[in-house]
Structure 1
Amino acid sequence: MRLIKLSKQFYLGTLCFLLGWSISTAQILNKPTAASNPNLSGSSAWNVACASHDFNEFFINFTWSTPLVAKDNKFILEQSDADGNFGSPVTLASVSDKNTVFKFDFQFALPVETRGENYKFRVRSTNPARTSAESDAYPMYYMDYKSAILISENGDGNIPPGGRIEICQGNSTILSIHNVPDANAYKYIWYRSGIPLPDNGPSITVSQSGNYKVEIDYGSFCSSSANTLSNTIAVTTLKQLGISIDPPAKTNLCPKETETLEANITGQGLTYIWYKDDLAITSPTVDDATFIVNANTSDFEGRYSVEIYGPGTCLERSPAIKIGKAGNFMVTRMNDQNIVLLPGQTETLSVSTTASSPVYTWFKDGTIISGASLNTLDITQPGAYHAEVSQISGTCSAITIPSETTSVVAPASFEISVDYTSEYIPCGSKNVTIAVKTITAVAPDSTRKDVTSTLLSGFGYQWKKDGTKLVGENTGSLVINDPGSSGNYCVEGILNAYSATSNPLSVQLIPDGKITISASSSVYCDPTDAIIISTATDLTGESFTWLKNGSDYNTTGSQLTVNSEGTYQLVVSKNGCTIRSNEIKISLLDDSIVVLDSPENIIFAEGGSKTIAANGADSYLWYGPENQILSNSSTITLTAEGTYLLVATIGRCNVEKTINVSYKNTFKVPNVISANGDGINDQWVLPNNYSKNPEVNVIIYDPKGREVLNVVDYQNNWPSITTAFTKQNMVYYYKIKNAREVLKQGTITIIR
């Protein structure tokens, strides 16, 4: 009897396992610990993990206690983030063959992104679902870069001679890594003369003397083994002397005068370079602490400074001293440099000056103009004009300064440009205004001058269309608003003996009229069904084209007969422009356009009903089982079994949909059948909401939990007549489910 009881317990446990029923467990998963590497002789358990591409093999020891886990269980080793958090754990290893081993080692490799001091481990089992305690924290680093780092100033890759850089007091420089790919992906340890600095990026700003170097921060245990320590850059800070130029006796010199400039620092063996307006005017010379400014030099005026450098000192440049011309004044030409003197016109030239009590003298082509002693001069002839201004009072002797020269010429010809002055779209505008835009005087040397504002009203005009004069159109602008007036327009301008014809402008106004096309239907039922596309517009004598999908349809008829899908349009040409009709889209009937909100097969309890709605068609007719019309609405309510027909009309086409209605069985799932071949209750018959349904899955297990049937669309045909049952009252188990859930489960007892 005890053996029988144990067999039943084993049987029930197996059955529960097969049917997905859970059994309470109480396994204890102990926290994992670091273990020695069995592949390395004499190794001991690790306490720091330093991995790289040439070594990445570590072991974790794990123990657990009974009861046994399930046969399909897996033990999974997980790693935390660098702060010991398991919010998003990383799976390091997984084993499924240790379900009867209570102490074993996991082998794993560090992920390449591992860098930190507080990584932890834990172990999960999958069946039953358990999680061990967290391990102690371990420093762990994957050292993907293990070469010596190179640093240089600003990371430019140029290591200075002797590894030395000099900077002035109060200034700084930047040392950067230049040979590490993706340098921002790491943290670093910077050193100044052996002392770690707080900076941990790939660059450091340096303003103090010292020996600087850097290495990648792989933690206090792994950094030294990575051998990334960089070259050394020795930074030296140099002192600043405060160079300046002693104030000179004079800063404004008269002609032939000189002034000596002297640096405030002398006699220290320094090298000097003198500058004027930031350009070097002497070569580097030791102890060259003075410079003589000579007013006899034409370009002596400017800003003077001196630069010094030497051993142990910074390169420094002094503030600038401005040296100018005594009694100096300015003369400014007030008119344009180039003037086109138009026929019969007078131009006025003028200059301004900062001189006190100035005296003016005017010149034409280098010859003094008698009596011209004002700051202005009226001219009527071409030539080269300038003025000289003299000042006879002040600290220096008399000074004369000439103005810039003005070139005055008579025009050789004129050019007239016309343009649209209102919004214009070719074949898209109903009217447009064109007008003279610019008038340009062209000098004999091809110099060009815009004289529009001066001569726009002085010219006489004659507009032309396609070379023919337009009567009465003699102003500077022209309005065109007749669709039949499309063509090329220009204007001829006349001034005294000058004549100029403008550039041509093309004008194409939108033609009158609108074209509309229509179709006998937008849908054809089959390739033999013809559709007529036509227009009410008279196309007699017109140039037109029918388009299908934007391409020429190759027909000359005033209407189309079509029986193929596409987008059709009529294009008519008038006055060089095209008028496009509306587009008509013709398509083949698609049965899927008509949609029912119900499946084709409907089941409801007798006495119930089902309302069905259709859409996508122009009209609807519902027919009953006796072919009688039930409704012409888009919806219908069905209350009786039978086959119903919907005829939906789209244009001239019909779409048919069939609906089968049956009553829902009210009997329950049977739990006893008598498979004795007498034709009564020999097979397991399910209600029709479970049977013959492609969305329902039926599964049957034998008394030992083995699957004997697993089908969808069950046909109420189990067991077959060939099925043999070896015992009386055998109990089978079943599940009925759909894709989302178990709908029904229970037992089937077989009575022979």
Structure 2
Amino acid sequence: MNKTTFVKKLFFVLCFFVLILNQNLKAQIVIGAPNIGFSQACANASFNSYNVTFVFSPEAGLSPTNQFHIELSDADGSFANPTVVYTSSPGAVTTSPATLNFVLPTDTAGESYRLRIKSTAPAATSSGSPSFAAYYKIQDSPFTINNLISTASYCAGGSYLLTIDNPGTGMNDSPLNYPSLTFNWYRETGPTTSVFVAEGESLSVSTPGTYFVETNYGTCTSDSFSNRVTVTESTSGTTSAIVSSLGNPFCPSGGPTTLTTTAGNSYQWFLNGEAINGATNQSLDTVLSGTYTVSIDLGSCNTTASIDLVSQGFESSINVEEINTMEPGETLYVEVTTTAINPEFQWYFNNVLIPGAIDNTYDATEYGTYKVVISQTTGCLVSYDILFEIEEPVDPFPSVADIPNVISPNGDGINDTWIIPNIYVSGTNTEVLIMDAYGKTVLNTTNYLNNWPENEIQFSSVNPVFYYVITTTDNKTKKGSITIIK
């Protein structure tokens, strides 16, 4: 073989190897460890969006069909069975550095997650990111324990079981509806401090203290926590607590307040020392102020609880009587005094609103029924009514010509007393004598006020008969009988 031919063949072989080497270089890339830019990921239904940034080289090494994956490790940081949390579209990412966005799966819960990046064409995998805490807070609102009753008690040597309510009352979002969740119980050690006690859906308490439970979201802050319950140890004769649902003092415009005491086997409620009939449950609804006590059977011991319940109402008074008399043409001045805050007044006559009557005073000129409504417009919004009547005065000495022989003292205001002519009544010095059928004197006066009988006369089927003798100052007499009918 001549020298020229050999050189040509050698050059051809070298070019072939350079071409192959160049193609191999284009078929490989290196991906740097992802930069996550956060120390923990605390997601919930309203926020679940996180960015990760990474570099790769060479950019020319990517195939037009390449896709990048973001993989999430397990809670211990292992990629043995990773979860793909993001996949880019084919050929969408072509420049370095690149930033991708991902969301956490709803079952994420742990303190040592990591991320890594993988490519598909060519296949390459980055190293893992630094560890970070990650939780998806599937339940992130306050919930109730112990039926929202803030006190509990157990007999000495026993215990009390605190449980998460499911479903609970009202709008309670019980975390027990989410099977993946776990819970941590705590006991308060100060106004802002507490110690971990145990895990679980319930807690058996044998040490007095104030307890609460939180959904276990690790180092992520959360609103998924319970109300506090103060648990006490009781012996027979000791006292427990009563809680008012509307507070104490309470505002009666909010409806009845519910008084609740610690859980027991049986109960009896008292108001101002008197047993309340039928009040034998753990709770009692009331709108009345006063001292409430309850006797509680805890099983091996008994305890009592007490509360001085106060209403946030107000006091009002009026300067007239419940029933008033007024001569025709006169005016009755009425004034209301009240402790209500920023009070408003509305006056009614015979249940009809009186236009323009909005002051605490009113000049009443007509006979009938009046009402004033006093409303407190600041703080506890409460209204109270005061009623009074104005009647035409009764003439005790009406003008009659004849002496009646029948009366009906039944309280109907008609013919209730024995009314005689004015020439025989008080001021005339006329003697009026009334005797029963047996001759016994029942009235003897020289100052008769047309008011006999003053007391009720009892009789069954026979209408009793009385006899009268009227003697004037000039010794003229009138005699007759009086029959009493119903």
TM-score computed with the length of structure 1 as normaliser: 0.27
Structure with larger Rg: 1
Structure with larger RCO (C-alpha < 8 A, sep 6+): 2
TM-score computed with the length of structure 2 as normaliser: 0.41
